[in-house]
C-alpha cells in the first residue's frame, strides 16, 4: 500500500506544479504582473508573436483610430525580418516587451537558453534603435505563459518584469472575430491584462484578421462604457 500512496502523492505534486507552471494568474513561482483585476476601469491590450505582416500594420491602424496605446510582446527573429513594422509600433507610442528570440517552451529550456533568448531579442531591437525599457520598465512574457521558478528568477535578475494576463481570447488558433470578442466579454471585469496575438510564432504572415476586427469591437464597446485603455507600464503605475 505504501508504494501506492507515495506514487499518488508524487503524481499529485507533479500535477500541482504543472498547473502552476502554466496558470495565468499563479504567483507560486514568483511575482508576475497580471494587472489589477476587479479594481478600476483600466484595460491593457497586449499582443504576442509579432511583428507580423500585414496584420500588425492593420492593428496599428485600428489602435490609432481609437487613440489607444497597447503593449506588443515581440519575437526577436521577426524583429530582424521586419524592422519597419517595429519602428511603426514604437513611433505610435506603444509599449514593447520581450517575447524571446524564437518562442521556445521555457518550461523545458535550460537556464543558459533563457538568458540567450532574452538577450538575442533585446539585441535585435537595439540594432534597429529601440530599447525594451519603457519608463524604466522592461517587460517579459514567456511563450505560452510557460515558466518555472528559474524562469522568473532569471528574468528578474536581468531587469525584466514578467507579465501574464487575466483575459485570454483564444485568438492564436483558427477562429472568428465573433468568438474572440465573446471570450473577451465573458472575462473582462476591469483592471485586466488582455492577451491577444497579432502574429504566429511559426512564420511571418500568419492570419490574424479575426484579432484585428475583434480589437476594433472590444475598444468601441468598452470605451462607450467608460473604460480606459492603457499600456502595461501605465497600469503598473496605477497599481503602485
From the list 205, 209, 206, 211, the residue with the least C-alpha distance to 170 is 211
pLDDT tens string 146-198: 988 899 999 999 999 999 999 999 999 999 999 999 999 999 999 999 999 99
Q: Which three cell numbers stand for residue 41?
A: 476601469
Structural domains counted in the chain: 1
Please give the grid coordinates belonging to residue 28.
507560486
Instruction: Write out the residue range of the structural domain in which residue 198 sits.
Output: 2-239
pLDDT for 192-203, tens place per residue?
A: 999 999 999 999
At what angle are helices 83-91 and 55-66 packed, to 10 degrees? 10
Q: Which one of the listed residues 94, 103, 183, 197 is annotated catalytic?
A: 197
**Cell numbers for 237:** 503605475
The per-residue pLDDT for range 3-30, each reduced to its tens digit, is 544 443 333 333 334 444 445 555 566 6
Residue-wise DSSP of 48-98: EEE--TTHHHHHHHHHHHHT---EEEE-HHHHHH-HHHHHHHHHTT-EEEE
Summarised one tens digit per residue, pLDDT across range 47-79 is 999 999 999 999 999 999 999 999 999 999 999
Is 130 one of the catalytic residues?
no
Asked about 48 being catalytic, the answer comes back as: yes
Which CATH number goes with the domain that contains 154? Answer: 3.20.20.370
CA distance 138 to 95: 10
- CB contact at 8 A, 49 and 81: no
Amino acid at each position: 500500500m505504501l508504494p501506492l500512496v507515495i506514487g499518488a502523492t508524487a503524481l499529485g505534486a507533479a500535477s500541482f506544479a504543472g498547473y502552476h507552471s502554466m496558470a495565468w494568474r499563479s504567483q507560486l513561482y514568483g511575482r508576475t504582473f497580471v494587472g489589477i483585476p476587479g479594481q478600476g476601469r483600466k484595460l491593457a491590450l497586449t499582443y504576442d508573436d509579432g511583428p507580423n505582416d500585414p496584420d500588425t500594420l492593420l492593428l496599428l491602424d485600428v489602435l490609432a483610430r481609437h487613440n489607444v496605446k497597447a503593449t506588443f510582446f515581440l519575437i526577436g527573429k521577426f524583429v530582424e525580418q521586419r524592422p519597419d513594422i517595429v519602428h511603426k509600433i514604437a513611433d505610435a507610442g506603444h509599449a514593447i516587451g520581450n517575447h524571446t528570440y524564437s518562442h521556445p517552451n521555457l518550461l523545458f529550456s535550460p537556464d543558459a537558453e533563457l538568458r540567450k533568448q532574452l538577450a538575442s531579442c533585446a539585441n535585435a531591437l537595439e540594432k534597429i534603435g529601440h530599447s525594451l525599457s519603457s519608463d524604466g520598465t522592461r517587460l517579459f512574457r514567456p511563450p505560452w505563459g510557460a515558466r518555472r521558478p528559474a524562469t522568473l528568477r532569471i528574468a528578474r535578475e536581468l531587469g525584466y518584469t514578467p507579465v501574464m494576463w487575466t483575459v485570454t481570447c483564444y485568438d492564436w488558433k483558427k477562429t472568428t472575430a465573433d468568438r474572440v470578442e465573446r471570450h473577451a466579454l465573458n472575462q473582462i471585469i476591469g483592471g485586466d491584462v488582455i492577451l491577444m496575438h497579432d502574429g504566429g510564432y511559426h512564420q511571418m504572415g500568419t492570419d490574424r484578421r479575426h484579432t484585428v476586427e475583434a480589437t476594433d469591437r472590444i475598444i468601441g464597446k468598452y470605451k462607450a462604457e467608460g473604460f480606459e485603455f492603457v499600456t502595461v507600464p501605465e497600469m503598473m503605475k496605477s497599481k503602485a
